[in-house]
A = this chain, B = another copy of it.
Amino acid sequence: MDSATNLKLKPVARRRAYEEVVDQIRGEILAGRLKSGDRLPGERQLSDILGVSRASVREALRVLENAHIVRARTGTGADSGSIIVGEVGHSMGDVLLMHTALDHLSLDEVVGVRTALEGYGVEQAAARRTEEDLEVLEDLVRRMAEPSLSPVDFLELDSSFHLVLAKASANRLNAYLMESIREIIEAMLGDIFTGSADWSTMQAEMVAEHEEVYQAIAAQDGAKASILVQAHINKSHERIQ
């Protein structure tokens, strides 16, 4: 062979030890060898098995904790070692909020996705809602209509209303994304409504909108509920701008 000009060498990707650890734990999860509730070996033991420093093990565990894949256990005795968690966690809101602050995402984009997810969610909820869901929703709408209600208290009932719909949609991914996105929108909007001159008019409109969504869900009319909730979100968004 003459020279090495045909070699397809490229720069070695600098992979950190913690990334390897994350990948190996992910691999065990995907292969089904780690299940919800399982306990991982302790830091020291992981460090020995994997041949990396305890610091690298700890960095990997922090990343997995933050993604709500593992929950840390404190202490060093028999009870130490992280536990694989049992449900999708709520870390995404925080991350997306940072991305909006960095202008990687606009409020319009977030609201657009919210309409899509919530439209789908209520369509599912209309088919699956229980009598108990309906009672809770009805009660929330009734309390929203209280004449003396402050904007802050209204928003709390409003949040609960949408949360009940999210749960009733019986799609955990949709509920998780809807909740994360509501958190971002609320954080971006801050003290909306507060000090608004025509609060009582606005309140009456919003009560009517929630009432309509409730009625469509009670009637199991998913298509109508979906259209109404999307119109409601877009209108709320216009009101506060």
Contact = CB atoms under 8 A, between A and B. Distances in A.
Interface residues of A, number: 53
Given A58-B59, A62-B59, A88-B104, A116 B29 contact: no
Interface stretch (A148-156, A170-178, A206-214, A231-239): A170-178
Contact of A94 (B26, B86, B98, B174): B26
A140 interface: no
A136 interface: no
Given A26-B98, A67-B95, A88-B99, A112 B174 contact: yes
A225 interface: no
B124 A117 contact: no
B59 A109 contact: no
A18 B61 CA distance: 12
Contact of A115 (B72, B99, B112, B120): B120
A113 interface: yes
Contacts of A99: 69, 88
Please give the count of copies of this chain that the complex contains.
Answer: 2
Given A26-B98, A36-B104, A98-B30, A113 B62 contact: no
Chain A binding surface SS class: helix
A92 interface: yes
A18 B72 CA distance: 13
A80 to B, nearest CB: 14
Interface of A: 14, 16, 18, 22, 26, 29-30, 32, 35-36, 55, 58-60, 62-63, 66-67, 69, 72, 74, 84, 86-88, 92, 94-99, 101-105, 109-110, 112-113, 115-117, 119-121, 124, 171-174, 177
